[in-house]
Each structure stands twice: as structure tokens, then as C-alpha cells.
Structure 1
Amino acid sequence: MSNEKEYLPKIAMSIQAHPDDQDFTVAGTLAKWAKAGCKVISVLITSGDSGSNDVTKGADYKPVLAKLREAEQLAANEVLGIAETVFLHYPDGELTASLALRKDLTRLIRMYKPDVVVSGDPSAWFYGNGYINHPDHRAAAEAATYAVFPSAGTRLMFTDLLEAGYEPHNVKRLYIHGSEKSDTWVDIGETIDIKIEALKKHVSQSDTHDVDDWMHEWAKEEGKEKGLDFAEAYKVMILKKEDDIPGGKTTVKGGQKP
């Protein structure tokens, strides 16, 4: 996909497993969209309540840590210009791509009606030879993908949502980060420093403290293929494409019906 004319959604939804996930991965894109007038909704499935290996802390620290990490995410989202933040409070480290989770995400998609959903790659098990993808990441990505399609747009799926007034909604594009087969690059030259500022709000997490060089190098590597100084890369599923011709027909992929 050419970057000469980057796609700008009116409403976008980021769905991630833990606080700080989006800030490591897609925050530059979200900040850029928000600056351009896009309403961005940030959905955190867990509150990161298992995110500590402090030997002085016991199980009673989990709710304390959850509140701390939620506050950190809210501070980060304020930096990014994100309009709304939703915490679903699923247990950190125990996430599965359950029907209950898919239904929760379907409800949110039908409620906010985003043009774009941004999530991870459910097929990603390994990155290089030094990182095993967290199972929560894969579960969140799988549930988000199937909430986007087929659940959000299928009228008689989760009929209790329909009865509660949540009408079907067809997402136009799914942006998948962390894919080994990226086809779309977002230039984040104007927002790389905003991304780093947001990431540093996660002060409870030691790996977010000295990230300036790391984030610049990572974004530079992502953009190198397209001649961009700093970029975030995605595989983009175009699920609904409206023709540029006024009154033109709507082309639909993935089996969705307009």
C-alpha cells in the first residue's frame, strides 16, 4: 500500500492485552491520527495486574498494581490525545480468546463504530530467537480479529447485544501490528517523541525507563524499507472499501455484507 496518501480514519479503536502494549507498538500512529482529528478509543483487556516480579509483593498487591497501571495508561493516553479509555479487567496472564471476550469486544465495536481497529497478530508465536510472544497478546489479537469479523457486523450473532440496542457495524480496516508480512507503513516522524513520552508514563515497568534510543532505532528500522525516518508497520485488512466515485458501489471483502 502506498504511503503517498495515508488513510485517516474518523474513529479508530486500539485493542490490546495490557497497559503499555499500545505504547510500545502503535502509539505513534494513534497520536498522528488523534492530531488529525480522529477520535481514538483505547481498549485494555487486562489491567496488567501480574506485571511485577518484586519478591516483597504478595497476591494482595495485584489489585494495587492494577489501579497503578490503569492510572499510568490514562496518563499515557492523555499524552497521545486519545479520547476514551476502556478497561475490561480480565485477569492478566490468564487471557484466552473466549466467546465472552469476543462478545465484550463486539459490544464495544458496535457501540463506538470505529472505521479502523488496531490490534496485534494472532499468528505470531516468536519474534527473532529471543522473544516468545506473550499468550495474552495472541489471545487479545485473536478475539479482536473475530470481533471485527464476523461478530460485529453479523446481525444474528450475539442476539442479546442486538436486543440491548447494539446494532451491527462493519469495520472498514483492521491494522495488525507485529506481522512479519507488513504491507502498510505509517510515517510517525511527527509523533515519535510523543510516543516515547507516553511510554515513559508506565513508571511501574522497568523496561519503559530508558527507551529513547531503542524506540528511535526500532522506528527507523521499520521505516527503512520505505525511505521513512521513523515508521510503524502493519498488515492491513481492507474489509470495506467505498469507491471514490460519488454514489459509487461499496466493495466488500471477507464475506461482509454492506
Structure 2
Amino acid sequence: MTEPQITSAPLAPMPEDWQRALAVVAHPDDLEYGCSAAVAAWTDAGRDVTYVLASRGEAGIDTLEPAACGPLREREQRAGAAVVGVGTVEFLGHRDGVIEYGPALRRDIAAAIRRHRPELVVTLNHRDTWGGTVWNTPDHVAVGRATLDAAADAGNRWIFPDLVEQGLEPWNGVRWVAVAGSGNPTHAVDATPGLERAARSLLEHRTYIEALTDQDPESYVRDFLAAHTGAAGERFGGRPAVAFELFGR
């Protein structure tokens, strides 16, 4: 895939004329690292946000066997989602680390879109790198790309016709797909009101964080989020921000 040209243009505010969002990512913690401050702002405004995760993150902690790790990370994800006002979290059951882009993944995500009927779909960076020479993971690439495709698949009754047989009628109401973690963002959400809850949400992944770093978990979380939202804020009027690359439909 060709990487977009990185620019420093000001980021536009995200659209606000929507009521339902569906966030689709590969692993527990992807949303907490990527955009939970924005999610907190959206739920504060009375919008409905649902999380769908392709895997349970069972291959994410070297010291834990997948059979033990998967349920633990699922619990941490549900707790983290609750902190920012998300009550519905679904897991698609794809195998962590080897999620494959293709019809099976597109079908599962299209089914979720038809179930929840969002106007906004959120996913994580689907490109090969994080905007430079930091390589992305295959799972992120597969799920992000499949989500962009599934937004269209969900509205076409002749793609995955078995979904109609299951009572999932086509939904062509997705108006935007917003990609968090993009190296070429176009829009942003003010992170200030949700930043404290974003930190607490990420801290719910304590087992994962403690395996990832020797730094104090709270310091690690707050330092990461401050750097992440501060960098986006440089293009958003100096306010801490969560940035997205927005694809209209």
C-alpha cells in the first residue's frame, strides 16, 4: 500500500451530526491507546458507541498462555470500555496475531455494522507504518482495511447474502469511517474533557501494561497520552486532541 503524503495542515473538527458509532479494532487496548478520550466526549454528548474486537488479545503477553490471557484481557477491555461510557463490547473470535484480511473478516465486520447500524465507524491505522519507519502489525492492517471495506459491504445485500437470511438487513447508513493512529490525519476531537477518563480506561489494561514496561503504569499511561494528544493538538489550536483520518462515504 502507498503511504499518503504527510502534511501539517490544521485539523478540522470531527462531524457531530450523528448518533451511533461502531469502533472496530484488532485487540484489547487498541482503542484505549488510540482514541478513548474522543469516545468519552461522544458518550458525554449522549451518543451511543459500541466496541467490536476481532480478537481477545490472547497472544499479547509472553508470560501468559493464551488460554489464560484471552479471558483476562477480555475482562480488562470491558472494564476499560465502561470507564468511557461504552457498555457493549463484542469479540469476533479471530486468532490474535494471525488475523487475516479477506472475506471471512469482512463478513464478520459487515454483520456487526448491520447489527448496530452506525453512522460513524471508527478503526485503527490500516497502513503499513505509523506514518514513518515504525512498522505496523499485520492484525491492525488487516482489521483496519477490512473495516473500510465492510462499511460498503454492509449496504450491499448481494455480498454475504447469508446475513440477510439471518435477519441482518443491509445497512447503507455509514457516512464516515474514521481511522485513529493515522500518519495523515484530517480531523480531530478535543481531548481535554475526556483525557482523565482516557487515562483510567487505559490503566484498566494493567496486566498488559505491566508486562510491556518496567515504568510505573500510571506514569507510563499519562506520559503516553500527553504525548499522543499533545502532538495532535499542535494542529488543533493548541488543545490536546485525538486525531483521525476521515473517509467519507
TM range (shorter): 0.7 to 0.9
Pick from 220, 225, 247: which aligns with 1:237?
Answer: 247
| 2:168 is the counterpart of 1:163 | no
Letter in 2 for 1:92: D
Residue of structure 2 equivalent to 1:247: none
Residue of structure 2 equivalent to 1:176: 179
Which one scores higher on RCO, CA 8 angstroms, separation ≥ 6? 2
Aligned mates of 1:105, 1:2 — CA distance in 2? 28
Residue of structure 2 equivalent to 1:191: 194
Specify the SS of the correspondent of 1:204: helix
Aligned mates of 1:21, 1:211 — CA distance in 2? 13
The structure that is strand-richer by fraction is: 1
Aligned mates of 2:12, 2:36 — CA distance in 1? 21
Letter in 1 for 2:16: Y
| 2:195 is the counterpart of 1:203 | no
Unaligned runs of 5+ in 2: 1-10
Give the paired residue count: 231
Deviates more, 1:210-219 or 1:139-148: 210-219
Aligned mates of 1:136, 1:29 — CA distance in 2? 23
Alpha-carbon offset, residue 218 of structure 1: 1.6
Pick from 16, 37, 43: which aligns with 1:34?
Answer: 43
Q: Is the 8 A contact 1:9 1:33 kept in 2?
A: no
Q: Is the 8 A contact 1:72 1:201 kept in 2?
A: yes
Aligned mates of 2:131, 2:89 — CA distance in 1? 28
1:90-135 CA-partner distances (Å, limit 9, x unpaired): 1110111121111111111011100100002322334433x32111
Aligned mates of 1:79, 1:68 — CA distance in 2? 17
Pick from 82, 93, 102: which aligns with 1:89?
Answer: 93
Amino-acid identity (%): 30
Letter in 2 for 1:163: E
Q: Is the 8 A contact 1:18 1:44 kept in 2?
A: yes
1:8-56 CA-partner distances (Å, limit 9, x unpaired): 53110110100000000011111111111111100111101011122xx
RMSD of aligned alpha carbons: 1.6
Using structure 2 for the length normalisation, give the TM-score.
0.88
Aligned mates of 1:85, 1:8 — CA distance in 2? 23
1:63-212 matches, cutoff 5 A: 63-129=67-133, 131-149=134-152, 151-170=153-172, 171-206=174-209, 207=212, 209=217, 210-212=220-222
Rg: which structure is higher? 1
| 2:45 is the counterpart of 1:20 | no
